[in-house]
Structure 1
Amino acid sequence: MSFEVDIGFSSQRGPREANEDFAGAVHAPRGEEARGLIAAISDGVSTGGGGREAAQTTVMGLLSDYFATPDTWEPTVALDRLISAQNTWLASQNQRRHGAVTGLATLTALALHGHRYTLAHVGDTRAWRVRADGAPAVPLTHDHALDHPDLKAQLTRAVGLDDQVRVDYEQGEVQVGDCFVLTTDGVHGVLKPAQIAELALAGSAGQASDAMVQAALTAGTRDNATALVLRVVGLDARQLADELFDGRRLAPPPALKVGDKLDGYVITARVADTGVHLLYQARDAATRALVALKTLHPSRASDVQERAMLAHEAWLGLRVSARGEPGFVRVHERDPGATALYTVFDWHGGRTLEQMRSANLLTPVADTVAAAIEWTRALGRLHRHGVVHRDIKPGNLHCGDDGHWRILDLGVALSGREDPAARELHAGTPSYINPEQWEGAPADAGSDLFALGVTLYQWLTTRLPYGEIEPYQAARYRRDPVALSRIRPDVPMWLDNLVRKAVARDPRQRFETAEELLLALERGASRPIAAPPATPLIQRDRALLMRIALVVSLLFNAVLLVWLLFLPR
């Protein structure tokens, strides 16, 4: 279901000479729809007529700039930066005018994103949540005003009141059917929560906002009356903020046994235990379908970074599999009633490439090429999402019972939205890591292509192109890989050249993109590529070259010394 909100707005000046309320709502721009919507309401407070200006600039500044902030910022960070900037500008304007014309503004802002909302609040405007269960409207904010019958209009916090502004923030979960109502005190000052709830659900959102304002005027409000109604009709797929919130809120389940139940799933087998993660096979009690459950090992249950990485993996899986693209395992959206932290995947029978290799089965070259084409297509799709896998290896390439290959385990993948600690982690399996990373370069799409080439070389020859590499090993790439056809004569020359190009020591000799590698695989012998040139010794082992140069220099000096001392001149 796509993100959809029914919005209604109404504002009347009431008995006042001027209307100093202001409100609005803006959807994310085209291409960034997943960022949701931002809505805000403000009540201007003034001496000399600056209230309208204060309310309007506060709301308009927030609405116009919110989606200009980086999408990597948490909504609370974006709101805090923008509100603080507006407060600084408004406070300086008030100080410059020396009290002749001043303007303050209350502010209640609501950001809807994914399956969550973020609320920012200053002053005595209010936000309410209404659900169609007959219950009164639930206030989501607390007024910043003096708690005295004669001084309730006296604000303790407002935008522009002081050099620094303190903002209240609230976050929570959103469901389809939720109705959020933003009001100024001209409405909620005379209407009770039960009336607000009843009116908020009457007719369309526009009709509801009109009815609410008219009811406030009929009830004898003494102030401007403004209401902004937002009804959630549809939600997007869960966003990273939703997953991270669950990663902090939920605890991983204890180690489960066959027959144990977890939120409607019955454990049927423990598939893997890596010491960091546990992977189970389970059956959905409602649909009887088999699924895979991935969670943290109990020993890592309190690790904040591991929780964040598991949440990031779930979000990435949803992002990739939401479009139904082949080559990946579909991730299920987490049930709102989940009691523990885990991720649910479709279950596919079959084996990983590592399991196939362990069985010592010699695969025909044609089948190997067909598999490589599937891997490369899937990797290209991943890279177009801006994602780097970082751990391509035989254990993460799975061939299902349906005959299709899938890339597994996005646990250490980079998307630009991951936790900084995960970005700095030197992830991957050493024998599949490209030389540049050992020299300090970050992982990129080329790293995945190199790892894919190593995997293909290993599958065809049962050997690693550069041998088994250990993290502490200093001499890692001091020889070029042996030609595949020398190890396995049935490997055609075009494929031999292709694989050696993919794992070349010099990154400039490798394939630049997955699309380039895919084209070479599909063309095969019809458009063979040239064999990569031998890597110069200075690139493979500079230390050895220096030692050879030193030995030559010493020999030359020894000969020269003998000639000078012992040979006749």
Structure 2
Amino acid sequence: MRFELDTGLSSLQGKRARNEDFVGVQAPAAHEVERGWVAALADGVSGAEGGNNDGLMAAQTSVMSLLRDFHGVPADWDTSVALDRLLGHQNAWLASHNRRPGPDGQPREALTTLTAVALRGRRYALAHVGDSRAWLLRDGQCLLLTQDHRMERRDFAGLTRALGLDDALRLDHSAGELKVGDRLLLTSDGVHGSLSARQIGELLRNTPVAQVAADALTAAALAAGSHDNATALVLDIKDLADPGLTDLAALGRTLPSPGPLGVGATLDGYQITALVADNGVHRLLQAREVATGRLVALKMLRPGRADDPEERAMLAHEIWLGLRLAEAPRHRRRGGESGFVRVHAPADGATHFYAVFDWHGGQTLEQLLAKGPLDTAQALAMASSVSRSLSLLHAAGVIHRDIKPGNLHLGDDGQWRVLDLGVALSPRASAAMRELHAGTPSYINPEQWADPPQAADPGSDLFALGVTLYQSLTGRLPYGEIEPYQLARYRREPASVSRLQPSVPMPLDRLVMKAVAREAKLRFETADELLMALERLAARDQPTSIKSSRPPRDAALSWQIAFGISALLNFLLIAWLLFLPR
């Protein structure tokens, strides 16, 4: 799903000499969709009437710098952290600016309030300083989300906090879940200083179009006697994107894991039909969705591991990766398939934390190899499909780390799919995941066993695929069963594929031996390079459609003529020898 937002903006100068409010909304670029939207409203603090433009400058630069830089922060930053750091840098710049006297020798007053909201996944995050405000209209109830930083006394009225006021910035932060139909509102004090919370709520409820609501709020504020600039930004949530990693991690922390479930048990509208696998950490169950009758696979933590926060975080990361791959560029797919099993976003109202995948009948490569090696055509088809999936994965900055026959599945539809992203690394993976030495030893490239060990990289997946392809053709592992750090196995090159399986053509033999070479520099560098080599081999096995430049009949006639000429010459030679004068 795609996040859909309708916006309405109105900013009126009112009775002021100039409008020192500034507001903006920034949508993510196509490759930044997951980072979400950001909006901000700033109200520059006015100096003397007709004075300098420091307040306007502070409001403009604060909003523009936030919107410009928000989508450029590291992907693993939490939204609140991003807002805090970006606004902290802007505050430091304004405070430094204010310490220097202006051109006229007078002190500078580049100060502004600011209220910012970031909308990512299915959550919002607020950062606020000053007396601008944020509101939320949900189910007819209008809620004020911020608190003014303002002191009102007989002898003094002014802001106690603002951007540029102090060297150290103290922001108020808050966050919450988003729902379709929510309406967020940002206002300057020119609006809420003249309209009551009840009036604002009524206008929000009675004007369904965002732009009409924004215009109505500012017009009503001026009509009520506002002496300040009046600005309103309305954000209507029309549709929500799939949950982001932050949303899923929050579900993992708050929802309980399912307990033991037997066949016939129900869970959130799914009825368990079979236990598929149990690896000591996770259980994989087949279930039928009661409402639709479709089969799905449910992956959940075993009861003994259900309270492990790292395991919960890894399952959340796996769900997030699956949702992200569903948005992979179409040009990297084949037949519309991504080469991975589709994962479904957790349903609203889910009572437990687990992953839901599409169910595909078929067998894993491990099950197929139990019956014997694959023939050349089958092996090429498998390796080409998995290479294409790895190309898509690596383009997204993700490393699988556990490619092996047990994690490759041939569906009844003839499609190969890569399973189990549970230990995959992405730019958003936690430090604990990065430190985990994941994978199955016999498929791990030797560099990861070196001293010091090298981290897994895309080449690790390609080596594992090479080992898998070698095993698929020969029924054996190239270096045998490997135990952790058993580098002695890698002291000599493995036996060639054609030696163990003479029916394998030499070009394929050379390709596989390159993929499993002991030295990394001798192997394929990218999944695309390996895929191209595999596709060339597959094309060689296809009958050519190009006709010979000389038809077969003409070729036979040529041989007959050549034979006749040769026979005539031999006859003449014999005759000459017989009748040669003695």
TM-score in terms of structure 1 length: 0.86
1:180 match: secondary structure:
strand
Contact kept, 8 Å, 1:107 with 1:125, in 2: the verdict is yes
Does 1:519 pair with 2:528?
Answer: no
**Closer, same or farther: CA 454–101 of 1 in aligned 2, 3 Å:** closer
Contact kept, 8 Å, 2:297 with 2:359, in 1: the verdict is yes
Corresponding residue for residue 508 of structure 1: 521
Match of 2:359 among 347, 372, 380: 347
Give 1:2-41 correspondences, 5 Å limit.
Answer: 2-41=2-41
Displacement of 1:445 in angstroms is: 1.5
Task: Summarize deviations over 1:289-320 as a string: whole Å, max 9, x none.
Answer: 11111122222223222222211111111111
Greater CA drift, 360-369 or 473-482: 360-369
- The separation in 1 between residues aligned to 2:170 and 2:502, in whole angstroms, is 73
Q: Which runs of 5 or more residues in structure 1 are unaligned?
A: 529-569
Displacement of 1:212 in angstroms is: 0.5
2:45 match: secondary structure:
strand
2:150 match: secondary structure:
coil
1:32 match: secondary structure:
helix
Does 1:166 pair with 2:166?
Answer: no
Give 1:322-341 correspondences, 5 Å limit.
Answer: 322-323=327-328, 324-341=336-353
Match of 1:478 among 486, 491, 506: 491
Contact kept, 8 Å, 1:14 with 1:224, in 2: the verdict is yes
**Closer, same or farther: CA 159–276 of 1 in aligned 2, 3 Å:** same
Give 1:142-541 correspondences, 5 Å limit.
Answer: 142-146=147-151, 153-201=157-205, 202-323=207-328, 324-358=336-370, 360-439=371-450, 440-524=453-537
Corresponding residue for residue 114 of structure 1: 121
* Bigger Rg over Cα: 2
Contact kept, 8 Å, 2:99 with 2:107, in 1: the verdict is no
2:421 match: secondary structure:
coil
- The separation in 1 between residues aligned to 2:217 and 2:111, in whole angstroms, is 25
Corresponding residue for residue 567 of structure 1: none
- The separation in 1 between residues aligned to 2:358 and 2:74, in whole angstroms, is 33
Greater CA drift, 436-445 or 369-378: 369-378
Corresponding residue for residue 105 of structure 1: 112
Match of 1:123 among 117, 130, 141: 130
**Closer, same or farther: CA 203–328 of 1 in aligned 2, 3 Å:** same
Task: Summarize deviations over 1:385-443 as a string: whole Å, max 9, x none.
Answer: 22211100011001112222110011111222211221222111110001111122221
- The separation in 2 between residues aligned to 1:87 and 1:384, in whole angstroms, is 37
- List, as ranges, runs of 4+ consecutive aligned residues in structure 1 with deviation greater than 4 Å: 148-153, 525-528
**Closer, same or farther: CA 151–413 of 1 in aligned 2, 3 Å:** farther
**Closer, same or farther: CA 219–152 of 1 in aligned 2, 3 Å:** farther
- The separation in 2 between residues aligned to 1:446 and 1:66, in whole angstroms, is 33
- The separation in 1 between residues aligned to 2:34 and 2:228, in whole angstroms, is 37
2:6 match: secondary structure:
strand
Contact kept, 8 Å, 1:51 with 1:102, in 2: the verdict is yes
**Percent identity between the aligned chains?**
59
2:62 match: secondary structure:
helix
**What amino acid sits opposite 1:102 in the alignment?**
E
- The separation in 1 between residues aligned to 2:159 and 2:419, in whole angstroms, is 56
- The separation in 2 between residues aligned to 1:24 and 1:384, in whole angstroms, is 32
- The separation in 1 between residues aligned to 2:459 and 2:133, in whole angstroms, is 51
**What amino acid sits opposite 2:10 in the alignment?**
S
**What amino acid sits opposite 2:125 in the alignment?**
T
**What amino acid sits opposite 2:534 in the alignment?**
L
RMSD: 2.3
**What amino acid sits opposite 2:181 in the alignment?**
G
Displacement of 1:210 in angstroms is: 0.8
Task: Summarize deviations over 1:517-565 as a string: whole Å, max 9, x none.
Answer: 222222228769xxxxxxxxxxxxxxxxxxxxxxxxxxxxxxxxxxxxx
Displacement of 1:255 in angstroms is: 2.6
**Closer, same or farther: CA 348–35 of 1 in aligned 2, 3 Å:** same
2:489 match: secondary structure:
coil
**What amino acid sits opposite 1:347 in the alignment?**
W
Give the aligned length.
524
**Closer, same or farther: CA 487–91 of 1 in aligned 2, 3 Å:** same
Greater CA drift, 238-247 or 496-505: 238-247
Displacement of 1:152 in angstroms is: 9.3
Greater CA drift, 380-389 or 341-350: 380-389
Contact kept, 8 Å, 1:16 with 1:222, in 2: the verdict is yes
Contact kept, 8 Å, 2:493 with 2:518, in 1: the verdict is yes
Corresponding residue for residue 53 of structure 1: 57
**Closer, same or farther: CA 204–387 of 1 in aligned 2, 3 Å:** same
- The separation in 2 between residues aligned to 1:189 and 1:299, in whole angstroms, is 56
- The separation in 1 between residues aligned to 2:327 and 2:71, in whole angstroms, is 23
- The separation in 2 between residues aligned to 1:152 and 1:6, in whole angstroms, is 40
- The separation in 2 between residues aligned to 1:274 and 1:163, in whole angstroms, is 54
Contact kept, 8 Å, 2:399 with 2:426, in 1: the verdict is yes
Contact kept, 8 Å, 2:94 with 2:163, in 1: the verdict is yes
**What amino acid sits opposite 2:13 in the alignment?**
R
Contact kept, 8 Å, 1:20 with 1:43, in 2: the verdict is yes
- The separation in 2 between residues aligned to 1:364 and 1:108, in whole angstroms, is 64
Corresponding residue for residue 42 of structure 1: 42
Greater CA drift, 473-482 or 25-34: 25-34
Displacement of 1:480 in angstroms is: 1.2
TM-score in terms of structure 2 length: 0.84
2:465 match: secondary structure:
helix
Greater CA drift, 194-203 or 400-409: 194-203
**Closer, same or farther: CA 525–248 of 1 in aligned 2, 3 Å:** closer
- The separation in 2 between residues aligned to 1:99 and 1:276, in whole angstroms, is 68
**Closer, same or farther: CA 92–517 of 1 in aligned 2, 3 Å:** closer
- The separation in 1 between residues aligned to 2:421 and 2:392, in whole angstroms, is 14
Contact kept, 8 Å, 2:149 with 2:161, in 1: the verdict is yes
**Closer, same or farther: CA 248–353 of 1 in aligned 2, 3 Å:** same
1:31 match: secondary structure:
helix
Q: Which runs of 5 or more residues in structure 2 are unaligned?
A: 329-335, 542-582
- The separation in 2 between residues aligned to 1:525 and 1:14, in whole angstroms, is 73
- The separation in 2 between residues aligned to 1:54 and 1:223, in whole angstroms, is 17
**Closer, same or farther: CA 252–306 of 1 in aligned 2, 3 Å:** same
1:311 match: secondary structure:
helix
**What amino acid sits opposite 1:161 in the alignment?**
L
**Closer, same or farther: CA 105–458 of 1 in aligned 2, 3 Å:** same
Contact kept, 8 Å, 1:108 with 1:125, in 2: the verdict is yes
**What amino acid sits opposite 1:155 in the alignment?**
L
2:184 match: secondary structure:
strand
2:186 match: secondary structure:
strand
**Closer, same or farther: CA 163–273 of 1 in aligned 2, 3 Å:** same
- The separation in 2 between residues aligned to 1:114 and 1:156, in whole angstroms, is 33
Contact kept, 8 Å, 1:136 with 1:196, in 2: the verdict is no
Displacement of 1:20 in angstroms is: 2.7
Contact kept, 8 Å, 2:117 with 2:126, in 1: the verdict is yes
